[in-house]
Amino acid sequence: MLLQRVLSAAVGIPVIVVVILIGAVPYALAVAIILALGILEFYAATDPETSAISPTHPRLRRAAPSLLGQRMPAFAGCGGVVLLVAAAYGGLDEVTGALAGLIAGIFLVLILRRDIQAGLGDWLWIVGGLAYVGFLGAHLVLLRDLDDGRDWVFVAVIATFVADTAAYFVGRALGRRQIAPVVSPGKTAEGAIAEMVAGFVAVFAIVWATGLDVDELKLVPLALLLPAVAIVGDLGESLIKRGAGVKDTSDLVPGHGGFLDRLDSILFTTPLVYYFVIWVVL
């Protein structure tokens, strides 16, 4: 498992760096593909008709059901994610407008379907995925399109990777005190402290390495918040998986699980960096 994690990172991180550097259409296309796979993983795990939703489920399945063997609403939600990424090219207003339109459109489709029993569950299921994976994920494009957006994406993504990696290795080596045993038994206080320290240092290091012109005092809140938000994102996805009765959202990323398992923290840290930039820096 550890070897697979290292090999996946050795292959994946250089690819991610190159795509961020290129930007433009290739970057947006890569984001759309990754988020589309992530939301299919979310829907496969949480489908109200098939998932084993039970917080006290005694044994977790290794992975969620097949991504391609799902009901049609899952694929409609996948298309909605692609629409949100495309809308992100226009800006935040366009993304929120697209999300509002999707919510209303989903209501209309479910009304026309006239399935009262499944309607509410399906609406919550589809909209939940669009908000969680689609809206939050679209900030990857919003952030890249800002002034110095390439460098800020590096801050959001690489600092999160550094923080998560520190938490993983320190937690495995020294972790003793669980901080959320019901939600994520492997999450320890020792790992969380390592994540906070590594994330704080990584933010300053990446800002320095990229040459971003930001006052150090202004950067302190971001450096403190980014690893904390990453922990929330990690635990949030663990809550989803624990409730759905799955260990991993898929096995598409060897050693890591699924794309959503790698996106869990980034879905939260990227919006944080985006709003920091537009509210504090610009």
What is the DSSP annotation of 175-206? --SBS-TTT-TT-BHHHHHHHHHHHHHHHHHH
What pLDDT score does 209 carry?
96
Four-point Cα dihedral 171, 175, 178, 183, nearest 10: 30
Separation between Cα atoms, residue 127 and residue 166, nearest integer Å:
33
Helix (H, G, I), strand (E, B) or coil at 211: coil
State the amino acid at position 58 in one-letter form: P
Residue 253 φ/ψ, nearest 5 degrees: -115, 100
Separation between Cα atoms, residue 255 and residue 252, nearest integer Å:
9
What pLDDT score does 231 carry?
96
Separation between Cα atoms, residue 234 and residue 164, nearest integer Å:
9
Question: How would you write the pLDDT of the chain (282 residues) with one tens digit per residue?
Answer: 566 666 776 777 888 989 999 989 999 999 999 999 999 999 999 988 776 554 444 455 555 567 888 888 899 999 999 999 999 989 999 999 999 999 999 989 888 887 777 788 889 999 999 999 999 999 999 999 999 999 999 999 999 999 999 999 999 899 889 998 888 888 999 999 999 999 999 999 999 999 999 999 999 999 999 999 999 999 999 999 888 888 888 878 776 678 998 899 999 999 999 999 999 997
Domain boundaries, the chain: 2-281
Distances (CA, A) of 84 to 46, 109, 110, 249: 21, 19, 20, 22
Sign of the four-CA dihedral 180, 270, 274, 222? positive
Enter the pTM of the model. Answer: 0.91
- What's the DSSP call for residue 253? B
